[in-house]
Amino acid sequence: MAKTVYIAGLGLIGASMALGIKRDHPDYEILGYNRSQASRDIALKEGMIDRATDDFASFAPLADIIILSLPIKQTIAFIKELADLDLKEGVIISDAGSTKSAIVDAAEQYLAGKPVRFVGAHPMAGSHKTGAASADVNLFENAYYIFTPSSLTGQDTLEEMKDLLSGLHARFIEIDAKEHDRVTSQISHFPHILASSLMEQTAVYAQEHEMARHFAAGGFRDMTRIAESEPGMWTSILLSNRETILDRIEDFKGRLDEVGQAISKGDEEQVWNFFNKAREQRQAMEIHKRGGVDSSYDLYVDVPDEEDVILRILELLRGTSLVNIHINEENREDIHGILQISFKNAQDLERAEHLITENTDYTVVVK
């Protein structure tokens, strides 16, 4: 039976979800709320949604499923508002917020005892882009789509959500909201704090040591890439996961002190072990598989510095979709080839590896 789905927030995530839902359920009616007219117009014009409003409450009673794809604070405000509306019996309410405990706690507080279902969710894909104009039907392909069930979630809730979102081609997984926030604080939130601190430290240092700006290369770029993220989103993420992040900061200070002491003592073995342990741990971790934000499948080709060489490789890859192409300025030990090509999935990567090895003599490294 065709359903009515209401997506509140037609930003990058909300509009991409609308496209993914339409892919498998073209008969579903998708209603959209957005504060600004620009994203409402784009979503209507591109056929992502069927009807649009700037009055959140007006469409809510029509929906079988409501997805809030808004900043965390606004998600909580709308959950509170939904509690006072006359919604369809058994409606499923879900969200897309990057932290889960605060949202799930709010839902349990405001929606308990109402004839509604709720399941917190975090689609672990995205980019630095915002707004409906950046929507991408393949955004969630192979990415984890995390559900955080609570007292307002039943098994049927999850089954219905997975069916609704089948066209996203994501990997659904369930985890407790608090555990979600602990895990993401370590692998996502805290690294953003580190990247921005490192960037700031370097910028201040470079005021007196000008060449720091010019010598910064691959390693520094990799470490600080995420310092370019959208400040508003990260402020709201950190402030809605405070205790867990403060715990990670304290833990890290201890680690820095430890390596500092080893350096101060000149303890060669301890310093070597420090680096070696981290290297082994990184090699053992599944970070090369697409799992979260911005990860991709990378292939490196050691191409000679010759005219048209890159064009020749791209010609071989005609028909294979690339997500990025990068020419590394220098070929060092931490870089595996001058030409770095990123793919969205393992099949495209394998195909490219095969095509380049079959048709050229260049060394190809998959990492």
- Which CB, 126 or 149, lies closer to ligand NAD? 126
Structure tokens at 256: 């820095």
Which tokens sit at 262? Answer: 């080893």
Residues 97 and 141: beta-carbon distance below 8 Å:
no
Which of 91/132 has CB closer to ligand NAD?
132
Question: What is the binding site for ligand NAD (CB under 6 A)?
Answer: 9-14, 34-36, 39, 69-72, 74, 96-98, 122-123, 126-127, 130-131, 233, 293
Q: Which is nearer to ligand NAD, 184 or 340 (by Cβ)?
A: 184
Find the shortest distance in angstroms from Cβ 77 to ligand NAD.
8
| CB 14, min distance to ligand NAD, A | 6
Three-class SS of residue 61? Answer: helix
Residues 225, 252: Cα–Cα separation, whole Å: 20
- Closest approach, Cβ 97 to ligand NAD, in A, equals 4
Beta carbon of residue 210, minimum distance to ligand NAD (angstroms, whole number):
34
Burial label, 10 (beta-carbon count in 10 A; 0-12, 13-18, 19+) = buried
Least Å distance, CB 53 to ligand NAD, is: 12
Which residue do the tokens 């793919």 mark? Answer: 343
Distance CA 268, CA 132 (A): 53
User: Smallest distance, Å, CB 65 to ligand NAD?
Assistant: 17
Residues 6+ apart with CB under 8 A from 301: 313, 337, 338, 339, 341, 356, 362, 363, 364, 365
Least separation in angstroms between residue 145's CB and ligand NAD is 10
Given the complex with ligand NAD, which of 14 and 120 has the nearer CB atom? 14
Chain position carrying tokens 């602990």: 182
Q: Which is nearer to ligand NAD, 18 or 299 (CB)?
A: 18
Cα atoms found within 13 Å of the Cα of residue 33, Cβ hemisphere only: 22
Note the helical H segments in 25-132. 37-45, 56-59, 72-83, 101-111
- Of 97 and 149, the one with the shorter C-beta distance to ligand NAD is 97
